[in-house]
Chains A and B, each alone.
Chain A
């Protein structure tokens, strides 16, 4: 049985190849990325480059050269938001953003004369692309969209939003969606994206990255050695080195390669999941927070109980049923404000491919008996 429902924080379990690739790297292979040319280094570096190719196809872009590794989505989002030279302008975000976006944005707002508004949306936070015109300003320079909410699992209609916003660049936060939803960076004409390796991609913590359509537009966040242009104090202007100063997390990236080369077949179907949501919705003591339309429902949802606080409920679920969940605000106060659950929060359930229908039945019976 799989009682772990905190996969939006970090996924567990991982494909066995994650630890196999990592222990092979740590115990046998070793070697840094670039900087030398003996076979150990070549092999270690070649694995990192294989991962870059693999990720590109995963994220729907032909431009693997425009994917850069960071240590998680947070570092990626900071790189993008602070590297864009945003000032004296207006920004639009989804109403379900995570603090990985809102905190950098709040700093920019204070220091760089930036204002921001939220995209028009329905009660579940799904953006209404047909109303975007009403919030666009001549000074709008960026649209930020959390592709899949980490609170109620709403998947945003990215393609429609991009089409409705003309030439304004779009930044996608793929932290929750990568590994769960279809992502087509090229077809959707996305300008910037950030992803993390340890959630739906099923890799280890400490891995992630960004995609930049036009690398001339972003200055690096981190400066340091790259093994290239070493006679100069200046950062190289060429990619990927421009964004990859310092020794990367080779062990972690090798593990992420193991995950992507060995994607498990999901043990449940989308229909099984929607049936679970419908069943939970019919429990009178519970309020469920999910997408209104099951077509744009990702594998995350939240609930509240009429008598227990979210922290009490999470504790009962663990103590009585060994069900692991996360309660509170999930680093996304904006999303909770949008959904009317701020500041009390919710209990969140986040699935993985390793949940079978039996696990859903177990969860349902636990929730029914609360």
Chain B
């Protein structure tokens, strides 16, 4: 199972991707899926098992986000 994290801004998506990289968490930059949002832009796809860690890290860094099950 995978999760998708959505961000308000490109800047936040990039910051989150960098934080994942710095913490050795694998993530993939994907377009925001149309069924989740009409938004264009970047989202991060992550493994279910990393969800808690990533959530903790982005919250700690003040990055607002939404999480969806794929």
Closest to B43 in A: A37
Within 8 A of B (CB), among A214-254: 227-231, 236, 238-241
A230 touches which of B18, B30, B39 (Cβ 8 Å): B39
Check A240 against B14 for contact (C-beta < 8 Å).
no
Chain B residues whose CB sits within 8 angstroms of the CB of A41 once the complex forms: 42
A35 at the interface (CB under 8 A from B): yes
Check A238 against B32 for contact (C-beta < 8 Å).
no
Q: Mark interface residues in A43-55 (1 if CB within 8 Å of B CB, else 0).
A: 0011001001000
Q: Mark interface residues in B34-57 (1 if CB within 8 Å of A CB, else 0).
A: 000011111100000000000000
Distance in Å from the Cβ of A172 to the closest Cβ of chain B?
Answer: 23
Q: Is the interface of A mostly helix, strand, loop or mixed?
A: loop
Q: Known interface pairs A46-B14, A49-B15. Does A227 touch B41 (Cβ–Cβ under 8 Å)?
A: yes
A360 at the interface (CB under 8 A from B): no
Within 8 A of B (CB), among A10-47: 33-39, 41-42, 45-46
Check B15 against A228 for contact (C-beta < 8 Å).
no
Check A34 against B42 for contact (C-beta < 8 Å).
yes
A309 at the interface (CB under 8 A from B): no
Q: Known interface pairs A37-B43, A228-B39, A231-B38. Does A49 touch B11 (Cβ–Cβ under 8 Å)?
A: yes
Beyond the given pairs A49-B14, A241-B8, 20 more chain A to chain B contacts, judged by CB atoms under 8 angstroms and listed by A's residue number, are A34-B9, A35-B10, A35-B41, A36-B40, A37-B30, A37-B32, A42-B17, A42-B42, A45-B14, A45-B42, A46-B17, A52-B11, A65-B11, A227-B40, A229-B39, A230-B39, A231-B39, A236-B9, A239-B9, A240-B9
17 A-B contacts (beta carbon < 8 Å): A34-B41, A36-B31, A36-B41, A37-B31, A37-B32, A37-B43, A39-B29, A42-B14, A42-B17, A42-B29, A46-B18, A49-B15, A228-B8, A228-B41, A230-B40, A236-B9, A238-B9
Interface residues, chain A, with chain B CB atoms under 8 Å away: 33-39, 41-42, 45-46, 49, 52, 65, 227-231, 236, 238-241
